Amino acid sequence: MSRIGKKPVEFPSDIAVKVDGEIITFTKGKNSPTLDTKGNVGINVEGQVLTFSAKTEAREDRAFWGTYRALAANIITGLTTGYEKKLEINGVGYRAAVKGKVLNLQLGHSHDINYDIVDGLEMSVEKNVITIKGINNQKVGQAAAEIRAFRPPEPYKGKGVKYLEEHIVRKAGKAAGK
C-alpha cells in the first residue's frame, strides 16, 4: 500500500476540482491547471477532499497511485500559496535585470545571456538576488536550474549563480612553495 497515495488531498473552497474521465481540472480565478492520470488511478472527489486509489495491486499501479496524489497536492499548493526559488549572483561585474519577458544576465562571458521567461512565471531582481515565482513547481525549479547552469558557483571564490540557501564547499587555494 502506498503511504503517500492513501493520504487524502484536502483543498480550500475557492478551488474548484472537476473530474472528466481521467483528467482532473483545478480552477482558481483565471488559473486552471489540469492533471491527466492516463487512466492509471481511480479518482474520487467528496466535498473538499480528493482521494486516489490504485486500479490493481500491481507494482506499477501502486507507484502511479502515490505519484498522481503528489502531483495533485503540488497543483493545489501552487494555486493556494505558489512556489518560489531565489538565486544569488556572486562575482565582480555579475548582474541581472528583467526587461519585459526576458531576464538579461551578465555573468562574465563575452556576451550577455538573455533568458526568455516562460509563461506562468514571474521573475524579479533585487540587488544580486533573482526571485522566480509561479504556480507550477516543475517550471519554477526548471527555470532556476537553467539559470544556475549558465555560471555554476566555483569552489575557490564562490563566484557564479547559486541557490540562496545553497552552501558552497570551498577549496584551499595554491599552497606557497619552497
CATH number of the CATH domain containing 124: 3.90.930.12
pLDDT band for position 111 (50/70/90)? very high
Residue 178 in any domain: the answer is no
Residue that is last in its domain, among 54, 80, 106: 80
Instruction: Confirm if 1 and 62 have CB atoms less than 8 A apart.
Output: yes
**pLDDT of the residue at 57:** 83
Do 61 and 39 fall within a single domain? Answer: yes
Which helix (DSSP H) or strand (DSSP E) does residue 118 occupy? Answer: none
As a whole number of angstroms, the distance between CA 64 and CA 40 comes to 6
Kindly indicate the confidence band of residue 178, based on its pLDDT and cuts at 50, 70 and 90: low
Which position has the grid cell 522566480? 132
Same domain, 135 and 154: yes
**Residue at 18 is within a domain:** yes
Over the stretch 30-80, which tens digit does the pLDDT of each residue have? 999 999 998 889 999 999 999 999 888 888 888 899 899 999 999 999 999
Residue-range definition of the domain harbouring residue 113: 83-163
Kindly state whether residues 53 and 118 are assigned to the same domain: no
Task: Using the predicted structure, report yes or no on whether residue 177 has a pLDDT greater than 70.
Answer: no
Q: Is the pLDDT of residue 173 over 60?
A: yes
